[in-house]
Structure 1
């Protein structure tokens, strides 16, 4: 039994007693009350689930100029995995309450760290509850692993500001996963400047889902195949507001068999950290399928 992209609630429910599985709750509320995700976890979560905090566990706020959720170091992430009791042999399942937008960040981090057996719970806790599956308020401390996870981030797939500028200048595909109105610069609820990186195109991450779950592999393949427009997945860089929802595209594409997409880890909030970088507003030459 190995899951690499998505796992449905019914399948996971039959495997809760499997000691090789580590379940992770990644609920968060960006722009909302700090700690809201943890509070929701403490009220009710999947049996055996451990909580990861987007702000303190999956970001390193001591790093400046890298946006609202700076990517942590190899060493810090390895310590987190050790604390969660995750070794290379464990099957990890991560969920949230927002169609995978936060869970995908942890999925992406694990995959880029070299841990293959990690999947997002399709439909998250909303679908789990809809199906009447069990939740608990009991918090079990994970059995800390003795040895640190030997992985390390694949920095060839983690782009910085200069990498993105060169990528766009050379005609590479930069796909922004934010909502269309934020991409166009009509509204900006989180960052100090509105707009997008010149040359970027927009595919909102919500275009990957339908009725609360991911679209089928075949549908996602066709949509991203159109978006790539003859390019390979490795010719694409995904971005968003702070390197969180862009991971949703990496997950959706991997589920469709399209591996190798790169991530702009600083994303929009990192791009605008310097006023010297250009900003564009309005529509892009959008390719692919519109927001649904």
Structure 2
């Protein structure tokens, strides 16, 4: 069963029982979640304070959102009215980027009941024409749930280097600009953990704010190197949005329960004087021409970055968008009227082709640095593409 459910499934669940509905609205930098909750929430929901209830107090030694203690988390869960046999439905208003933290924590703490997440969150509820409640909800009767800790794997800061050195794939769920160090960081040193791969959590969502289809997510993570027989770990800035990548792995059909979370994440890593930091974007995957054609047939945008002379020499590529690689600012700035309409969002799959890897690689890397999360370039370039027709 998918951890996600639709509004229709939630309505059916509410008509047949009383799921415990938890609202985990939180955004880095605000606005304050309690105010947003009072302004409008799903009737019957209980507000969950991420900073106070889903984390211990932050510090430079432990990171901004250390895991809560078992005793504190159990006390919080009981205050939400949670009982051991309850079905829990979690939501937020930001693509489940915060709600995924609670989904993971409950399972890490050994909660026996079912935990689901409302795909599309509060926006999906409103788009379905469902009513909102305002103000504070009556405090629920205290629950009796018993929770512990450590039921899902974690990796600690001193274990991270060995994890990577032994071939583990470490996914970084932060935006690509923070991974590369090109965007101002709230942490002491910009960049990422050496050996990590950029896997922005926002790339798990489609243009409608819902999760991408399982096959799309499985291909995305597969392109990054995720497989069923490889050790994979996840981190982010403070351990919150990393859970979103874990959720996406589960939706994609991978065994997310074996994937460790690094709770201290980059906020802890970058605060230590003895940890190395890398900068620059992830190397874009290099795919063969047959794989490139498959992706384009499934909807990827093909960008032809050859010079006019190169196109004349090798021949045109049907359906490709001709891109001036020296004018990427105008063509891929979403605030520019000159940009290509086919590239609808940062989640749009993109395949870059040139006369050689030396031409397509820098363009693909540039796009990744701009925040595009699904970019590859073609091994052998246009000659390899045309060779398939011979």
**Per-residue deviation at 1:127?**
1.4
Residue 10 of structure 2 corresponds to residue 12 of structure 1: yes
Native 8 Å contact 1:184 1:195 kept in 2:
yes
TM-score by length of 1: 0.91
1:119 aligns to what?
A: 116
SS in 1 for 2:101: helix
1:188 aligns to what?
A: 184
Distance change in 2, residues 1:62/1:281 (3 Å): closer
1:217 aligns to what?
A: 214
Question: Which structure is higher in helix share?
Answer: 2
Between the aligned partners of 1:20 and 1:113, the Cα distance in structure 2 is 22
Q: Which runs of 5+ in 1 are unaligned?
A: none
Between the aligned partners of 1:155 and 1:274, the Cα distance in structure 2 is 28
1:273 aligns to what?
A: 271
Within 5 Å, give how 1:144-183 maps onto structure 2.
144-145=142-143, 147=144, 149-154=145-150, 157-183=153-179
Number of aligned positions between the proteins: 285
Higher mean C-alpha deviation, range 209-218 or range 4-13: 4-13
Native 8 Å contact 1:16 1:47 kept in 2:
no
Within 5 Å, give how 1:202-281 maps onto structure 2.
202-210=198-206, 211-230=208-227, 232=229, 235-259=231-255, 260-281=258-279
1:134 aligns to what?
A: 131
Q: Deviations over 1:153-180 (max 9, x none)?
A: 2266111101212201222110001111
**Per-residue deviation at 1:86?**
1.1
**Per-residue deviation at 1:286?**
4.9
Native 8 Å contact 1:201 1:287 kept in 2:
no
Between the aligned partners of 1:89 and 1:207, the Cα distance in structure 2 is 34
Between the aligned partners of 2:218 and 2:194, the Cα distance in structure 1 is 26
Within 5 Å, give how 1:20-169 maps onto structure 2.
20-33=18-31, 36-61=32-57, 65-115=61-111, 116-138=113-135, 139-145=137-143, 147=144, 149-154=145-150, 157-169=153-165
Native 8 Å contact 2:103 2:116 kept in 1:
yes
Native 8 Å contact 1:60 1:71 kept in 2:
yes
Between the aligned partners of 1:70 and 1:201, the Cα distance in structure 2 is 22
**Per-residue deviation at 1:256?**
2.2
Between the aligned partners of 1:215 and 1:249, the Cα distance in structure 2 is 12
SS in 1 for 2:74: helix
Between the aligned partners of 2:226 and 2:217, the Cα distance in structure 1 is 14
**Per-residue deviation at 1:284?**
2.7
Distance change in 2, residues 1:76/1:286 (3 Å): farther
Q: Which runs of 5+ in 2 are unaligned?
A: 287-348, 350-371, 375-390
Distance change in 2, residues 1:81/1:194 (3 Å): same
Highest relative contact order (Cα 8 Å, sep 6+), 1 or 2?
A: 1
Between the aligned partners of 1:224 and 1:106, the Cα distance in structure 2 is 23
**Per-residue deviation at 1:189?**
4.2
Distance change in 2, residues 1:18/1:78 (3 Å): farther
**Per-residue deviation at 1:44?**
0.9
